[in-house]
Chains A and B, each alone.
Chain A
């Protein structure tokens, strides 16, 4: 990003090699991740035993008699003491066993693996769009504070964050899917199936389960177009809601940097506007934006539930919603663990970006 960045900046502290410091930090990060996940699992586990619902009753069915319910209870190990159940659950988790689903009767891991690609595709595409567009728009707004674009961006920045996600989704469905029917109203109705694209109808092989990626692998332009069409409305819903904050923060952060004396000093040295604004000011302005984008991405891991329900998007969010409805407590716990781990991971990754933007941070550790 910068020319001639001297590697000496990252000189290690005396008596400690740089590699060892990074390894220590990595190990610390992993331990921290495990602790957070364990706490989250424990809380969820406790809640699932406090909630006044009877999973055995649900699993056995409404028609089942008391003896049948008892048998199911014994089969599921629900008559054991809570601590025994807790230890059994944790040891299962360590082996990668999330238990069986009451609803689908299969291992939860299989369900999750099937639903995950669709969610990841939705989140990655949405995040990429609102992060990049938001940064560009916010930067343009800060650099050219007056004009028609400024008025438009102000409207987007205020309305986008003020309007609830489900309302945006419904409006988009009414005006872009119902009539005129440019986009599909919902992704797919034949849930649960892998992926968000009807691979058979599109004539492509299912490799990853993520429609856009599979179409790309199959090099099929028509399938890519179809996958993009299916993605469009849910992605727009997430983008409209999230881009507002990105634009607003980017604008104020860059405007603040552009007012600093070093910007004027760089101009005084005859540097081009591109160098002054992009290489110096923009990079400094990105720091708080990266923090917020990390939080937004973490939030999306859970927040995608509403969007997936609105558009019947066959991802982890819709799976979670169905599990809540049928009190599929094993599935709920599995999703909690995944969302927590995802959140912590994203934050750890964000922590790796800071020193790239501001070398003083690396040195301070």
Chain B
């Protein structure tokens, strides 16, 4: 049984022309990692927040199914979501320095989190975990204010606090994008290790395909709030069919300098009112794309929302 099961999730912000997230369905089993890929504005952060009950009060959320651990959360109130965040769902944010109150010491904030989760007595374990993930001398350094610690150090604390409650689901929103590349790979290694130890389900959000390639079991590509392609990691990264996914893959810098067709750059906020959101930038676009919003269909090894790709895939294979 899936740990997290979502069907038809749509989130709308007031004043928004289109939903930030539209009709997203996904499932994650324990011990598996789903990576959500997309550019900024694709709705990936909104999706992550919705799955932790952290959406802005003004946001409107609809779904036909939203279950964690088999519990139906469609009607869950703020209280229930808070309880879930204390015991079952952990969240790691993109910017380590912005994840902590700048005017309070780390130890005070860590204690707050631990007592909120009902684990105030497990501080020694947290100290051990911190030392294990490379946070040296935690008893002394945690007395510092956030800005006295480096981004990598802060993110290690965020991860340790997220994992110590033994959550069933760990959501990480671009956990390494704000870090130096060396620190980035250390943090990814820590995340991967802790995840396989704790057998938790992980949802990682990233725009960085090298991160995705390292940690994901499944990949979901979002564009304009819609899933345009999804499948197993090898399938999506190896034989993607959607022109957007292909464009993303081709945009990855290569040492051999052999770059293929780059994505035409996007005019921000200019998503079409109807049809496929990617149509304006698409090289496979046909008239039908501008009229009908495509559904996900199986093409080769993945699910992709692109009928023209389906026909061209048939021709090339």
Which residues of A are in contact with B by a Cβ distance under 8 Å?
A: 2-6, 8-9, 260-262, 264-272, 275, 279-280, 283-284, 357-360, 363
Question: Is B32 among interface residues, defined by CB-CB distance under 8 A?
Answer: no
Contact B161 A269 (CB under 8 A): yes
State A282–B111 Cα separation when bound (angstroms): 19
Assuming A269-B91, A269-B116, what are 11 further A-B pairs, CB within 8 angstroms? Answer: A3-B108, A5-B108, A6-B105, A8-B140, A260-B98, A265-B98, A269-B161, A270-B83, A270-B116, A360-B102, A360-B145
Nearest CB in chain B: distance from A181 CB, A: 48
Most buried by B among A2, A3, A267, A268: A268
Asked if A265 and B93 sit within 8 Å, CB to CB, the answer is yes
**Contact A269–B105 (Cβ < 8 Å):** no
Asked if B122 is an interface residue, CB under 8 A from chain A, the answer is no
The interface residues of chain B lying within 8 Å CB-to-CB of A262 are 98-102
Chain A residues, CB < 8 A from B195: none
Proximity string of chain B (148-190) to chain A, C-beta cutoff 8 Å, 1 when within and 0 when not: 0000000000100100000000000000000000000000000
**Closest residue of B by beta carbon distance from A284:** B103
Q: Are A9 and B105 in contact (CB under 8 A)?
A: yes
Chain B residues with CB under 8 Å of A271's CB are 112-113, 116
Annotate B91-120 by CB proximity to A: 1 below 8 A, 0 otherwise: 101010011111111011101110011000
In the bound assembly, the distance between CA atoms of A264 and B48 in angstroms comes to 13
Which residue of the partner chain B has the closest CB to A8? B143
Chain B residue with the shortest CB-CB distance to A9:
B105
Query: Is the C-beta of B52 less than 8 angstroms from some C-beta in chain A?
Result: yes
From A4, A265, A272, A358, give the contact of B103 (CB < 8 A). Answer: A358
Residue of A nearest to B104 (CB): A2
**How far is B49's CA from A8's CA once the two chains are assembled, in angstroms?**
35
Q: Smallest Cβ distance from B102 to chain A, in angstroms?
A: 7
Q: Answer whether residue B61 sits at the interface, using C-beta atoms and an 8 A cutoff.
A: no
Chain B interface residues (CB < 8 Å from chain A): 49, 52, 54, 82-83, 85-87, 90-91, 93, 95, 98-105, 107-109, 111-113, 116-117, 140, 143-145, 147, 158, 161
Name the A residues within 8 Å of B144 (CB-CB).
9
Query: What's the least CB distance linking A332 to chain B, in Å?
Result: 44
In-complex Cβ contact of B85 among A2, A6, A9, A270 (8 A) = A270
Residue among B52, B91, B140 facing the most chain A CB atoms (10 A cut-off): B91
Select the residue from A279, A280, A363 with max chain B CB neighbours within 10 A: A280
> Roughly how many angstroms separate A265 CA and B97 CA in the complex, as a whole number?
11
Contact of A275 among B91, B112, B143, B147 (CB under 8 A): B112
Q: Are A272 and B143 in contact, CB atoms less than 8 angstroms apart?
A: no
Is the beta-carbon distance between B108 and A2 smaller than 8 angstroms? Answer: yes
| A359 partner residues in chain B, CB cutoff 8 A | 103, 105, 145
Find the A residue at minimum CB distance from B147: A360
Q: How far is the CA of A221 from the CA of B237 in the complex (A)?
A: 81
- Establish whether residues B105 and A5, one from each chain, have CB atoms under 8 Å apart when the complex forms: yes
In the bound complex, what is the Cα–Cα distance between A359 and B146 (angstroms)?
A: 11
A270 touches B82 (CB 8 A): yes
A275 to B99, CA, bound (A): 15
Complex CA–CA separation, A8 to B145 (angstroms):
10
B107 neighbours in A (Cβ, 8 Å): 4, 6
Measured between alpha carbons, how far is A267 from B78 in the docked complex, in Å? 11
Q: Is the CB of A269 within 8 A of B112?
A: yes
Q: Return chain A residues, CB-CB under 8 Å to B109.
A: 266
Bound complex: CA of A322 vs CA of B161, how far in Å? 66
Q: List 17 interface pairs A-B (beta carbons < 8 Å), by A numbering.
A: A4-B108, A6-B108, A262-B100, A265-B91, A265-B98, A265-B158, A266-B101, A268-B52, A268-B93, A269-B116, A270-B85, A270-B87, A271-B113, A275-B116, A284-B101, A360-B103, A360-B147
**B161: chain A residues within 8 A (beta carbon):** 269
When distances are taken between beta carbons in the complex, the residues of chain B under 8 Å from A266 are 101, 109, 112-113
A20 to chain B, nearest CB (A): 22
Contact of A9 with B145 in the complex, beta carbons under 8 Å: yes
Contact A268–B102 (Cβ < 8 Å): no
Q: Are B116 and A272 in contact (CB under 8 A)?
A: yes
Does A267 contact B101, Cβ atoms closer than 8 Å? Answer: no
A5 to B, closest residue via Cβ:
B108
CA separation between A283 and B158, bound complex, in Å?
Answer: 22
> Which chain A residue lies CB-closest to B144?
A9
Contacting pair A267 B143 (CB below 8 A): no
Judge whether A280 and B99 touch: CB under 8 Å. Answer: no
Question: In the complex, which residues of chain B have a beta carbon less than 8 angstroms from the beta carbon of A9?
Answer: 105, 143-145
Contacts of B82 in A (CB 8 A): 267, 270, 272
Nearest CB in chain B to that of A2: its residue: B108
A269/B117 contact (C-beta < 8 A), A2-B108, A6-B143 known: yes
Contacts of B112 in A (CB 8 A): 3, 266, 269, 271, 275, 279
Residues of chain B within 8 A (CB-CB) of A357 are: 103
- The complex places the Cα of A265 from the Cα of B49 at a distance, in Å, of 11
Nearest-neighbour CB distance to chain B for A222, whole angstroms, equals 47
Q: Which residues of B contact A279 (CB under 8 A)?
A: 104, 112
Closest Cβ of chain B to A195, distance in Å, is 43
